[in-house]
Amino acid sequence: MRFPLSTCADRPLRCCGSRQGVAAVEAAIALPLLILLVFGALEIANGIFLTQTLAVAAYEGAREAVRPGGTPEQVQQRIEDLLVSRGVHNFTVSIVPELTASTPSGTPITVEVRAPMNALAPQSIGIIGDRVSIRRACMAKH
């Protein structure tokens, strides 16, 4: 005995209903995750860029500090020029030990640069949080 093939017209609507609802539910679940992934990657990339920028600024500041005749003002200006040119405005600089005209040659000078991780993107989504990036460079005075 053969059974005739049934068609969609023979079945109730719930069996052969449109799949548009399924696609909408899948999109509603996947789209927020995709957006979170993209913006999270951008925020982490900004954090890495900031960390590298602070490392370069600390190095350049230390180079300025160990030069003969280098002053704290010159160090601050060199670091500020570099950071502002890269879009970082909220930062602090410290030089240890205090740099003076009488600082003897061979003294290790450490320059530290700090900035909040959201210094480049204040409207961050919060993956990095309220962390502060700190980078130091140490060189011997000439």
Q: What is the pLDDT of residues 63-122, one digit of tens each?
A: 999 999 889 999 999 999 999 999 998 999 999 998 888 889 899 999 999 999 888 876
Highest mean pLDDT among 3-12, 51-60, 121-130: 51-60
Closest C-alpha among 83, 70, 84, 85 to residue 113? 83
- Residue 23, pLDDT score: 84
Give dist(CA 21, CA 125) in Å, integer.
Answer: 30
Give dist(CA 116, CA 71) in Å, integer.
Answer: 26
pTM of the model: 0.77
